[in-house]
Amino acid sequence: MVTSPKRRARYVAGAIAHGVEMLIDELFGDIQLLEDEDTTADEVDVLWALDELPQQYADRYTALFAKQFLVAAAILGHRLTQAEWTAPLSMAEALALHIAKSRAELELDMAEVMDEDRIAEILAIFDDKAFEDGDHEALYDGTGATEADPMAWFRPYAHLTDAQALHPYLADEGPSAN
C-alpha cells in the first residue's frame, strides 16, 4: 500500500489521465457502433462510454454527438496535463471528467495501491478542486436546473470569456452527421 501523500496523489493523477485515455478509446468504439447501425444510443444494446452518460437522453446520443463528446474529452485530457488546472469549460467536459474519474477509481481499486476509503477521500478532494459545481451530477437524477439538450452541453458555460472559445467542431453549426 502507498503511504506517502505525494505518491498517492501521483497514483490518482495517473489513474485519472489513464481514465481519460480509456474514455477516448471507448468513444471510438461507440462512434463506430452508432455509425454502423445508423441509430442513437438508446437503440444499441451495449455501448462503452455513452452508456455512462445520463440515460434519459440516450435517444439524442447520435454518432455526431459521440464525435463531439470525444473532442471534448480530448480537450479536457490535454488540459489535465497542463501546469495550471482549468475546470471543465462545458457540461460535456464535466461529464467526460466524471466518467474518467469513475475509470480511475476502478483502476485504483483493482491495483490495490490504497484502500477504498483512502481512494474515496482523495477523489472527494479531487471533486472539490476539479468541478466548479455539481450540475453534471444533477443530469443523472434529473434534479436541478441543468441543460436538458445534450447538444447544448458542448457550449461553454455562460460565465466564460471569449478567451475560452468553443472548439470549431463543437459549434452548433458544426459538421454534418455524415
Instruction: Give tens-digit pLDDT for 69-98.
Output: 999 999 999 999 999 988 999 999 999 999
Question: Quick one: pLDDT band at residue 6, thresholds 50, 70, 90?
Answer: confident
pLDDT at 174 over 50: no
Domains contained in the chain, number: 1
Residue 175 lies in a domain: no
Question: Quick one: pLDDT band at residue 178, thresholds 50, 70, 90?
Answer: very low
For the entire predicted model, the pTM comes to: 0.91
Residue 94 lies in a domain: yes
pLDDT at 105 over 60: yes
Residue 116 lies in a domain: yes
Share of the chain above pLDDT 70, in %: 92
Q: Looking at 33-47, 121-135, 149-163, which range is the least confident one?
A: 149-163
Predicted pLDDT at 14:
94
Comparing 158 with 34, the larger pLDDT belongs to: 34
Predicted pLDDT at 27:
98
Domain of residue 38: give its range: 5-170
Residue 158 lies in a domain: yes
Question: Quick one: pLDDT band at residue 177, thresholds 50, 70, 90?
Answer: very low
Residue 76 lies in a domain: yes
How far, in Å, CA of 93 to CA of 73, rounded? 6
Residue 177 lies in a domain: no
Predicted pLDDT at 92:
96
